Amino acid sequence: MNPNLLDIEILARQAGAILRAQFGQRLQVDYKGAIDLVTDADRRSEAFLLAEIQRLFPGQSVVTEESAGVQGNGRQVWYVDPLDGTVNYAHGLPIFSVSIAYAEDGQVRLGVVYDPMRDECFRAGRGQGACLNGQPIHISAPPDLDHSLLVTGFPYDIRTNPNNNLSHFWNFALHSQAVRRLGSAALDLCYLACGRFDGYWEIKLKAWDVAAGGLIAEEAGARVTDLQGQPNYMAEPQSVLAACPKIHAEMLALLTT
């Protein structure tokens, strides 16, 4: 059986309720790296989603952030980020999300990103457009990069690897209205999709970070590529550049010169 968008939205909202119930409480925080955190809320959300996907859609593969996931048939693959924005969550900052995508034969078909604190549910089906809480959304159309509000993020090895996005941040800060950093790649892409941001780029991501948000941004009208302008931004290692076509071209020119 194949899932539909409602199936995925229900799962995302249920996982979001787990996160919301534990938000602001004492958390068990472990460190995967110097600035790479995982909390017991991540694990509870992921455990719930893994169990439900296996129960409702047995035999399908699941790729997740915090565990080995599920080795299924390989044709039908779920990409699950049970808590995108863990550092924010651990500090009591209410900017985080649940991100779930479903792919068939190597192509993402369905994507849902749920923000449990604002009760905002972004979703898209390939060829079906994108919605926020059931209402259609579309990207912005600024006249040029100089009039654009951008958003980005930084990799977990920012302290040790010179390829850490700081030079791009500096460059774009000088060629745009401003650059923001929210701490949730999935929400960055969804905010781009509904016009709150005009452009987004980031390096060293994982498939679960971008699978759902990338589809939502595409279905809202954005051009979504890797940082070299190639369409397969899901390929390892993930990097993403997303914006309306005009701004995308200007951003790509800065990234590749």
Give the whole-angstrom CA distance, residue 201 versus residue 210: 11
- Label the pairing between strands 223-225 and 238-243: antiparallel
pLDDT at position 68 is: 67
Is the CB of residue 37 less than 8 Å from the CB of residue 143? Answer: no
Give the whole-angstrom CA distance, residue 8 versus residue 102: 9
Contacts with 169 (C-beta within 8 Å, 6 or more apart), sequence order:
152, 154, 179
The CA distances from residue 29 to 40, 86, 93, in Å, are: 7, 10, 15
| CB-based burial label for 143 (10 Å; 0-12, 13-18, 19+) | exposed
Give the whole-angstrom CA distance, residue 220 versus residue 49: 26
What 8-state DSSP symbol labels residue 148? -
Quick one: residue 85, left, alpha or beta (phi over 0 = left, psi -120 to 50 = alpha)? Answer: left
Closest CA relative to residue 118, chosen from 246, 23, 193: 23
SS3 for 112? strand
DSSP string, 203-253: EEE-HHHHHHHHHHHHHTT-EEE-TTS-S-TTSSSEEEEEE-HHHHHHHHH
SS3 for 174? coil
Task: Name the pTM for this structure.
Answer: 0.94
Give the whole-angstrom CA distance, residue 60 versus residue 78: 8
Give, for all 257 residues of the chain, the pLDDT tens digit.
899 999 999 999 999 999 999 998 777 766 655 545 578 888 899 999 999 999 999 999 999 976 767 788 889 999 999 999 999 999 999 999 999 999 999 999 999 999 999 999 999 999 999 999 999 999 999 999 999 999 999 866 667 666 778 889 999 999 999 999 999 999 999 999 999 999 999 998 999 999 999 999 999 999 999 999 999 898 876 799 999 999 999 999 999 87
The CA distances from residue 205 to 7, 21, 127, 233, 238, in Å, are: 26, 28, 25, 10, 5
pLDDT at position 127 is: 98
pLDDT at position 37 is: 58
> Which domains are seen in the chain, by residue range?
5-136 (3.30.540.10), 145-255 (3.40.190.80)
pLDDT at position 97 is: 97
